[in-house]
A and B are shown apart, each in its own frame.
Chain A
Amino acid sequence: MNNKINKTISWSEVLRKYGTVIGTIIMFIIFSLVVDRFFTFRNLFMLLRQMSMLTIIACGFTFVMAAGGFDMSIGSVTGLVSMIFTIVLVSTSNFLLSFLIAIIVGLSVGLINAMLVAYINLPDFIGTFAVGSVAYGIKMLLTKGNPIFIKNPPEIFTFIGQGYVGAVPFPVILMLAFLVISIFILHKTKLGRRIYAIGGNTVASVYAGINVKWYRMITFLISGLSVSIAAIIMTSRLNSGQPLAGENFLLDVIAAVFLSTTMFGEGEPNAMGSFVGSLIISMLNNGLTMLSVPYYFQYITKGMVVIAAVMLAVVMGQKLRVKF
Chain B
Amino acid sequence: MSFIDVKEEILSTRNLGKEFNDVWVLNDININLKKGEIHSIVGENGAGKSTFIKILSGVYAPSKGEIIINSQKVKFNNVKESEQLGIRTVHQEINLIPFFNVMENIFVGAELEKKVMVINILDKKKSAEKAKEALDTLGVELDLNKYVHKIDASMRRIVQICKVLVGKYEVIIFDEPTTTLGSSERRRLLEVIRNLKKQDAGIIFISHNIDEVLEISDRITVFRDGENMGTMLKKESTVNKIVSKMIGHKSYSDFKRKSVTDKDKVIFEAKDLNTERLKNINFKVYKGEVVGIAGIVGAGKTEIARAIFGIDAVESGEFYINGDRYKPKPGTSVKKGIALVPEERQEQGLVLNMDVKKNISLAYLDQLGKSSVIDFETEKNTAEKLIEYLKIKTTGPFQIVKYLSGGNQQKVVIGRWLSGDFSLGIFDEPTKGIDIKAKEDIYHQIDMLAHKGKGIIFISSFLPELINVTDRIIVMKDGKIVDEFDPKQNTETEIMIAMLGGNN
Contacts and interface: CB of A to CB of B under 8 A. Distances in A.
Given A193-B358, A266-B400, A208 B353 contact: no
B193 interface: no
Interface in A182-224: 188-191, 193-194, 196-197, 200-201, 203-211
A188 B371 CA distance: 11
A132 interface: no
A258 B493 CA distance: 58
Contacts of A124: none
Given A189-B373, A190-B365, A207 B351 contact: no
A203 B348 contact: yes
A38 to B, nearest CB: 38
A209 B352 contact: no
A200 B351 contact: yes
A209 B349 contact: no
B334 A209 contact: yes
A268 B358 CA distance: 15
A194 B352 CA distance: 14
B374 A201 contact: no
B190 to A, nearest CB: 37
A267 interface: yes
Interface string A37-55: 0000000000000000000
B344 to A, nearest CB: 8
Contacts of B239: none
Contacts of B352: 200-201
A190 B331 contact: no
Interface residues on A, range: 20 to 34
B353 A200 contact: yes
B450 interface: no
Contact of B351 (A189, A204, A267): A204
A196 B372 contact: no
Nearest to A188: B373
B204 to A, nearest CB: 35
Contacts of B372: 189-191
Nearest to B379: A193
A203 B354 contact: no
B362 interface: yes
B366 A190 contact: yes
Contact of A190 (B334, B342, B368): B368
Interface string B319-335: 00000000000110111
B353 to A, nearest CB: 5
Given A188-B373, A190-B372, A194-B365, A204 B349 contact: yes
Interface in A147-194: 188-191, 193-194
Contact of B350 (A204, A206, A267): A204
A197 B352 CA distance: 10
Contact of A206 (B330, B358, B365, B374): B330
Given A190-B368, A208-B416, A210-B331, A196 B354 contact: yes
A150 to B, nearest CB: 39
Contact of A207 (B330, B353, B358): B330
B311 A206 contact: yes
B347 A205 contact: no
Contacts of A197: 351, 354, 358, 362
Contacts of B400: 266
B192 interface: no
Nearest to B417: A208
Contacts of A209: 330-331, 333-335, 363
Pick from A207, A211, A266 the residue with the most CB of B within 10 Å: A207
- The prevalent SS among residues of A at the interface is helix
Contacts of B334: 208-209
B87 interface: no
Contacts of B366: 190
A190 B379 CA distance: 12
Contacts of A208: 330, 334, 362-363, 416
A206 B340 CA distance: 11
B41 to A, nearest CB: 34
A204 B347 contact: yes
Contacts of B362: 193, 197, 204-205, 208, 210
Contacts of B333: 209
A101 to B, nearest CB: 28
Contacts of B340: 207
B354 A200 contact: yes
A191 B365 CA distance: 10
Contacts of A190: 365-366, 368, 372-374
A205 B347 CA distance: 10
Interface in B345-393: 347-354, 358, 361-363, 365-366, 368, 372-374
B112 to A, nearest CB: 35
Contact of B353 (A193, A203, A267): A267
Contacts of A188: 373-374
B414 to A, nearest CB: 13
Contacts of B331: 209-211
Nearest to B351: A200
Nearest to B372: A189
B291 to A, nearest CB: 20
Interface in A129-150: none
Contacts of B347: 201, 203-204
A95 B351 CA distance: 46
B374 to A, nearest CB: 6
A129 to B, nearest CB: 25
A95 B348 CA distance: 50
B351 A201 contact: yes
Nearest to B335: A209
Nearest to B347: A203
Contacts of A191: 372
Contacts of B361: 193
Nearest to A184: B373
Nearest to B342: A207
B358 to A, nearest CB: 7
A200 B373 CA distance: 20
B373 to A, nearest CB: 5
Contacts of B365: 190, 193-194
A123 B88 CA distance: 38
A268 B355 CA distance: 13
A193 B374 CA distance: 9
A207 B354 contact: no
B348 A207 contact: yes
A209 B353 CA distance: 19
Contact of A205 (B351, B353, B416): B351
A93 to B, nearest CB: 38
A196 B361 CA distance: 13
A189 B371 CA distance: 9
A203 B347 CA distance: 7
B381 to A, nearest CB: 17
A27 to B, nearest CB: 29
Contacts of A204: 347-351, 362
The 5 A-B pairs at the shortest CB distance, nearest first, are namely A209-B334, A200-B351, A208-B363, A208-B362, A201-B351
18 contacts: A188-B373, A188-B374, A189-B374, A193-B358, A193-B362, A194-B365, A196-B354, A200-B352, A200-B353, A203-B347, A204-B347, A204-B350, A205-B351, A206-B330, A207-B330, A209-B330, A210-B331, A211-B330
Given A201-B350, A207-B348, 10 more contacts: A188-B374, A189-B372, A190-B372, A193-B358, A197-B351, A201-B352, A207-B349, A210-B330, A210-B362, A268-B353
